[in-house]
Structure 1
Amino acid sequence: MMKAVVFNPFSGLSGDMIVASLLDIGANKKLVKDAMTSVGDVDVQISKANKLGISATKVKVKSNNDQVTSYKKIIKMIKESGLGDSVIEDSVSIYERISDAESKVYETPKDRLRSQDVGGFDAIADVIGACAAFHNLGLDKCEIYSTPICRWEWFENTTRGGPPITSPIIMEIIRNSCLNTKYRTGPVAQETINTTGVAILAHFINECNVFFPKIQIKRVGYGEGGKHPEIQNLLRTVIGETDEKLISDRIDVLEVIVDDITGNALGNLIQELMSSGAKDVAVTPANIKKGRPGYMIRVMAHPADTNRLIKKMVQEKGSLSTMVMPVKRLITNRQIIPTMINIGRNRREVNVKIATDTRGSILNISAEFEDCKKVAVELGVSVKEVIRMAECVAWSRLSGIEKKTYSCESKKRLD
């Protein structure tokens, strides 16, 4: 079975609520607290709470420095914190997501941004704490889901003026995440979500659904928000197991139809899109309006790369419109292992790709073509023979069969 995690923000969402819910579910308190206090002068208090009859964990972060830090300095402090590589990488990515949103909303270069909402040391501690707890629980190996964020709108005054209802930064983060189509409002005239919480959730989740996925629940944790005593200001996090044998992933499929492009320009466009982050590009001949022959260009992209790839198509081709379709795909676990093979008296290394399901069962073994081609050209043998030998050796190693080397002369095959 595969582990799955569901964040259920039924009554609010903030950075400290995410940390608290992960602690409530079993994350190591000392490890998380040490991580949160590793950057900036902050005090972190972790306690149990009872919110309208529901037992929960509460995390309170107090900054002893009211200074608002620039995004550039925040990234530098996180990278120099001495935390684990995974925690640093995720924390930086979350702040990059926030800075991208704020830069767009306020039309200000990222290196000049200084946010009162997320530039304080308490917000930095929340981001780092959430990432530390996430990896401490091993959730990076799980499928991560969320139900729609239930939030309530309000007006407030900031240094930039009074924004309408919810912060424009939050709206921009939601728009560029799996959360964007699942946004909804609640019946109470007050706000219960913040920028840090939304950015953390947007970074980690793979999919957002109205209903819980089909899982066998193993653990449940609640994180208290500490505000709005008249409602259950709580975040619920659930860890369970699913029968899925493959990993689900969310990508965008971009489609554009063209009829005025040469073969050379089409080949160049494909190369440009792949080098700009596209997962794959496919071109299909098509009959379009007025019976003209044309091409349908289909691009598979990570949602975070969608806008950049659309811009690239406009620059290269002048496309006036692009269809964007969010889709779910099922993928295998993939691992590259170096495999030694003997060809005559020559010993060479070839990389082999191993595909497995979530239970570890081998689904496919495939030798890397470019590696095999290089060996074949160098030693004057066929690519087909190099591929066969590399895959046989890999199957032998991974199937627990006695390791053997296969040569072109013997042409031995795996039984």
Structure 2
Amino acid sequence: MKSLIFNPFSGVAGDMILGCTLDLGADREAVKELIEASVPVSVDIREVVKEGIKAVDVKINVPEREHVRTYPELVDLIKEAKLPSRVEASALYIFLKMAEAEASVHGEKDLEKLHFHEVGQSDALADVIGSSAAIHSLGCDSVYCTPINVESGTIECAHGTLPVPAPATLELLRKGKLYFRGGNEEKELLTPTGAAILSHFARPVETFPPGRVISIGYGAGDTELKGPNVLQGVLSDLDSCLIPDMIEILETNADDVSGEVLGNLFEELLAMGAKDVAIIPATMKKGRPAHIIKVIAKPEDSAKLARKIIIETGSLGVRVIPTRHRLMAARRIESLKFEIEGEIYETAIKIARDPEGVLLNISAEFEDCKKITKLSGIPVKEVMRRAEEDARKLFS
């Protein structure tokens, strides 16, 4: 499984992502031509050495004067560029993320009225279009990002003096669920454009997933630091054909809680975003009957789920199991129409594959099959068997 892993130990900006992916093997001339045909800029690509590390430096040369663009103007510019479909879709989605982040910070509900300042210029358009094209051209099955060094202090921008990371950048980190850390230097090492590109393409990881390195690339940044201001990117052949995911396991013991309360809690936790819930009978001290409640959750959902458990059960605390990694198959849901005794029925089908496309499992949605059983009179086990059999012929 070929994966791209960004390691922003020295921060990240749009031109650093572009330089990094070009250094990893994306076609420099093709990306340069695409940018210059789409945006009124010229592109210079050269190799530099930053504190002993060779990196690709990308300079976007823009017109001296540019007016502040609105979000609809940016959308029109991208659509008029006639980009390859995947590149256009990524560029539009990245700018949508930036627009939503700006709107959230400024309390603006109408994106049509939103004006971009720093991120609405031609260099940002060039960075987004070029990075999208380069990342897609590398042909990776997945993209990951380790914790981003954002440094600290304040910055001066169109809205005055703001903390690092800037509010819109912080909102992009939140939406992308990306990990970040501060530093001791008063500098801004993460730009909104860099945050938006990573939040679109990358999954957050705390450390490098295990695998074999194929190649390493570096994109040069402009800021002068004590260490090398470069973005490291690694193409890796991951050992597992499964997707690494990050979870937390919440656990508590509950006694003196009725089955009705536990059943309701089960449904409430799933509705609130729990990935799975298990309630296991147990015996506590002095022979008291009890239950162990175990919940699999995304880290960002743990606090609200733990609070719900405490409120509903009267527990005084919820344990968080330190193991936070699992491997999972890539899953999608398709709709299947199939025939039973001359009648056509429809059910959802869950399909699990590894990132190389190998089929791992197919299962019919139980609730749909239960409804078909009531209509057809055929046992639900047989309905599921027939649905899964037809699904394997169609989706294998």
Amino acid at match of 1:333: A
Unaligned 5+ runs, structure 2:
282-289
Kept in 2: contact 1:15–1:126 (CA 8 A): yes
1:408 alignment partner in structure 2: none
The secondary structure found in structure 2 opposite 1:10 is coil
Are 2:13 and 1:14 aligned? yes
State the distance in 1 between where 2:335 and 2:382 align. Answer: 17
State the distance in 2 between where 1:105 and 1:114 align. Answer: 13
Amino acid at match of 2:232: R
State the distance in 1 between where 2:47 and 2:93 align. Answer: 31
1:364 alignment partner in structure 2: 361
TM-score by length of 1: 0.70
State the distance in 1 between where 2:31 and 2:363 align. Answer: 41
The 5-angstrom pairing of residues 335-374 of structure 1 reads 335-336=332-333, 343-345=340-342, 352-358=349-355, 360-373=357-370
The secondary structure found in structure 2 opposite 1:49 is strand
1:221 alignment partner in structure 2: 217
The secondary structure found in structure 2 opposite 1:67 is coil
TM-score by length of 2: 0.73
Kept in 2: contact 1:254–1:301 (CA 8 A): no
Kept in 2: contact 1:279–1:302 (CA 8 A): no
1:48 alignment partner in structure 2: 46
Question: Once the 2 structures are TM-superposed, how far is the Cα of residue 118 of structure 1 from its aligned partner?
Answer: 0.8
Q: How many residues align structurally?
A: 381
Residues 93/394 of structure 1: CA separation in 2 closer, same or farther (3 Å cut) = closer
Question: Once the 2 structures are TM-superposed, how far is the Cα of residue 25 of structure 1 from its aligned partner?
Answer: 1.0
State the distance in 1 between where 2:58 and 2:159 align. Answer: 29
Amino acid at match of 1:3: K
The 5-angstrom pairing of residues 81-230 of structure 1 reads 81-109=81-109, 111=111, 112-139=113-140, 141-142=141-142, 144-153=143-152, 155-180=154-179, 182-186=180-184, 188-210=185-207, 212-228=208-224
Amino acid at match of 1:51: V
State the distance in 1 between where 2:278 and 2:168 align. Answer: 37
1:68 alignment partner in structure 2: 68
1:384 alignment partner in structure 2: 381
State the distance in 1 between where 2:248 and 2:172 align. Answer: 17
Unaligned 5+ runs, structure 1:
287-292, 400-415
Residues 299/190 of structure 1: CA separation in 2 closer, same or farther (3 Å cut) = closer
Kept in 1: contact 2:246–2:298 (CA 8 A): no
Kept in 2: contact 1:270–1:281 (CA 8 A): no
The 5-angstrom pairing of residues 210-359 of structure 1 reads 210=207, 212-228=208-224, 231-250=227-246, 274=271, 278=273, 300=297, 327-336=324-333, 343-345=340-342, 352-358=349-355
State the distance in 1 between where 2:172 and 2:319 align. Answer: 18
Question: Once the 2 structures are TM-superposed, how far is the Cα of residue 18 of structure 1 from its aligned partner?
Answer: 0.1
Question: Once the 2 structures are TM-superposed, how far is the Cα of residue 67 of structure 1 from its aligned partner?
Answer: 1.3
2:31 alignment partner in structure 1: 32
Paired-residue identity, % = 33
Residues 207/93 of structure 1: CA separation in 2 closer, same or farther (3 Å cut) = same
Question: Once the 2 structures are TM-superposed, how far is the Cα of residue 215 of structure 1 from its aligned partner?
Answer: 1.8
Amino acid at match of 2:87: V
Residues 106/269 of structure 1: CA separation in 2 closer, same or farther (3 Å cut) = farther
State the distance in 1 between where 2:392 and 2:151 align. Answer: 56
Question: Once the 2 structures are TM-superposed, how far is the Cα of residue 397 of structure 1 from its aligned partner?
Answer: 7.1
State the distance in 1 between where 2:209 and 2:77 align. Answer: 38
Question: Once the 2 structures are TM-superposed, how far is the Cα of residue 99 of structure 1 from its aligned partner?
Answer: 3.4
- The farther-off stretch of 123-132 and 78-87 is 78-87
State the distance in 1 between where 2:251 and 2:89 align. Answer: 32
Residues 252/88 of structure 1: CA separation in 2 closer, same or farther (3 Å cut) = farther
State the distance in 2 between where 1:92 and 1:9 align. Answer: 24
1:297-347 per-residue CA deviation (whole Å, 9 max, x = no partner) reads 9695695xx69x99xx9xxx9xxxx99989544321235566675544556
Amino acid at match of 1:208: V
Residues 387/21 of structure 1: CA separation in 2 closer, same or farther (3 Å cut) = same
Kept in 1: contact 2:43–2:60 (CA 8 A): yes
Question: Once the 2 structures are TM-superposed, how far is the Cα of residue 206 of structure 1 from its aligned partner?
Answer: 1.6
State the distance in 2 between where 1:115 and 1:271 align. Answer: 41
State the distance in 2 between where 1:116 and 1:353 align. Answer: 44
1:150-179 per-residue CA deviation (whole Å, 9 max, x = no partner) reads 344454433322224543333443355443
Kept in 2: contact 1:99–1:110 (CA 8 A): no
Residues 366/147 of structure 1: CA separation in 2 closer, same or farther (3 Å cut) = closer
1:23 alignment partner in structure 2: 22
State the distance in 2 between where 1:233 and 1:387 align. Answer: 56
Question: Once the 2 structures are TM-superposed, how far is the Cα of residue 131 of structure 1 from its aligned partner?
Answer: 1.9
The secondary structure found in structure 1 opposite 2:131 is helix
